[in-house]
Structure 1
Amino acid sequence: MIKHIVMWKMVDPAEATRFKELLDTCKGIVPGMREFEVAVRAEGFEANHDVALYSVFDDAAALQSYIVHPHHKEVVATSPARASRSVFDYQT
């Protein structure tokens, strides 16, 4: 299994919820996607980013299918401005 974690800092943190809603439309778009959860920074908790994605794929091929999927690319292209992005992929 491949775990794919991505975190973003938004240019305007008020856009985090809209970004989450866009990312949520990617859930289940490819075979081999096992888990897909998007979270927005919660008040009162420590966070260096505004939005986080935790997803699990059967293998690297399923992850790659997600990355190049036309819907995923459209979401990335139409999302609110992000100041930074951090990614951590690992195999279990």
Structure 2
Amino acid sequence: MSDRGFIRHVVFFSAKDPVDRARVYEGLSILKQNPHARVLEVVENSHVDSLSGEVDVVVYGEFDDEAALAAYKAHPLYQQSIDLVKPLRELRIAADF
């Protein structure tokens, strides 16, 4: 995918209801315990860019290779996070590079 020696995985989320933003953040924060990421951050969007307010939470991860990213997605914590967040989310956009 890249010649930098690792893969970046970035996922943008929005809550269906603004009341659930904190629950989306908490559900995604479970992913920080997943041992397969080199780096994993879960942050709330600061909404500084006035032209794009759709995103509420961002997950940013760095993985050694495609196998590490696949192991991350196969880990039980990943499914636990999906189970909590999917019913609450409106938008999910992912990019790997």
Q: What is the TM-score when the length of structure 2 is the normalising length?
A: 0.79
Indicate the structure with greater helix content.
2
Identical counterparts, % of pairs: 32
Q: Which runs of no fewer than 5 residues in structure 1 stay unpaired? A: none
Structure 1 consecutive aligned stretches of length 4 or more whose deviation exceeds 6 Å: none
What stretches of structure 2 of length at least 5 have no aligned partner? 1-5
Residues in 1 aligned to 2:24 and 2:14: alpha-carbon distance in whole angstroms: 11
Matched, 1:75 2:81: yes
For residue 3 of structure 1, what is the aligned residue in structure 2? 8
Corresponding residue SS for 1:26:
helix
> TM-score normalised to the size of structure 1?
0.83
Cα distance in 1 for partners of 2:11, 2:67 equals 18
Quote the Cα distance in structure 1 between the aligned partners of 2:72 and 2:78. 7
- SS of the aligned residue for 1:25 comes to helix
CA RMSD of aligned residues (A): 1.6
**Alignment correspondent of 1:30:** 35
How far apart, CA to CA, are the structure 2 residues paired with 1:30 and 1:11? Answer: 29
**Residue equivalent to 1:42:** 46
Aligned length: 88
Give the structure with the higher percent strand.
1
